[in-house]
Structure 1
Amino acid sequence: MTESNAEQLSSKKHSSKISTDKAPAPVGLYPHARKVGNLLFLSGVGPRQAGTTDIPGVTLNEDGTIKAYDIEAQCRSVFDNIRTILEASGSSWMNLVDVTVFLTNMKDDFKTYNRIYAEYFADNQPCRTTIEINCLPTPIAIELKCIATIDD
């Protein structure tokens, strides 16, 4: 076995997929998180509620497009979903080390999002990147991608 193959095998042994029914179901073939060593990588998490397709604060038109939305309700819901996945994975909010935030309307939503973010992250200040994107795969205005540690 080559050194490269041994590294790949070793990496697979220390990697595990994590999913929980307490968080919204993924919209594709991916787990809620993947543990590698003492790091936890969360897939993109939005504000949908577990067990439903309901999105807090969103009103849809008949064609499924967004008629109106409440960014505050979506922020609170997505942060709660992140906490749920972290805890189901054996980690915690305080173990977050990096957060990438995707907003669909930076101009109108950043101020509210930043205020709510400051409430949730007052005691833990992970690195953060906020990016405006054109759209997300479901009718939501915010999604987070996070990395946390897991205490062994």
Structure 2
Amino acid sequence: MANEKDILNSSKAPEPVGAYPHARRVGNLLFLSGVGPRERGTKKIPGVELDEKGNIVSYDIEAQCRSVFQNVRNILEDAGSNWDNLVDVTVFLTNMKDDFATYNRLYAEYFKYNQPCRTTVEVNKLPTPIAIELKCIATID
């Protein structure tokens, strides 16, 4: 059973869409659950336009990338870690063909000085109408 102090939730990141925490500490490692670009306290997704049935009409991958990177930063900081402590990032994109170049350019901007290991995969769909999700591991002091 997990120690309650090792289960971490951010007051700034969007609420999880399931029964999981934002992060969990194990020793000096911090494991983040999948993080998307939604805004806290709302279902709003930066850069996404939905129709009346909730289907994606259009989206801006740059706005989503910037938002998801900020959400990851918020979780790390609320957990007592920071962006520079990221050691591994797994990225899920729903449209590698159209979005990879923009995502890769922004990733290089955000990770200019800290270069964690990275895996990027295309998935058919994510749990909410988003185009990107990150799964991260960081160190924590």
TM-score over 0.5 for the pair:
yes
Give the Cα separation in 2 of the matches to 1:103 and 1:115: 14
Q: Is the CA contact 1:46–1:143 (under 8 Å) kept in the aligned structure 2?
A: yes
- Indicate the percent of aligned positions where both proteins have the same amino acid: 73
Contact 1:15-1:36 within 8 A present in 2 as well: no
SS of the counterpart of 2:72? Answer: helix
User: How far, CA to CA, are the matches of 2:61 and 2:101 in structure 1?
Assistant: 10
Whether 1:148 and 2:138 are equivalent positions in the alignment is: yes
1:119-141 residue CA offsets vs partner (Å, 9 max, x unmatched): 00001000000000000000000
CA distance in 2, matches of 1:64, 1:108: 22
SS, match of residue 90 in structure 2:
strand
- What is the distance in 1 between the residues matched to 2:3 and 2:70? 30
Structure 1 distance, partners of 2:3, 2:46, is 38
Q: Which structure's CA Rg is the greater one?
A: 1
Q: Which runs of 5+ in 2 are unaligned?
A: none
Q: Does 1:52 align with 2:12?
A: no
Q: TM-score, normalization: structure 2?
A: 0.97
Structure 2 SS opposite 1:59: strand
- Give the alignment's Cα RMSD to 1 decimal: 1.3
TM-score under structure 1 length normalisation:
0.90
Mapped pair 1:32 → 2:33: no
- Report the Cα distance in structure 1 between the residues aligned to 2:24 and 2:135, rounded to whole angstroms: 12
Instruction: Identify unmatched segments of 5+ residues in structure 1.
Output: 1-8
Task: Tell me if 1:61 matches 2:51.
Answer: yes
Structure 1 moving runs of 4+ over 3 Å: 12-15
Is the 2:11–2:78 Cα contact (8 Å) retained in structure 1?
A: no
Q: State whether residues 14 and 37 of structure 1, in contact with CA within 8 Å, keep that contact through their aligned partners in structure 2.
A: no
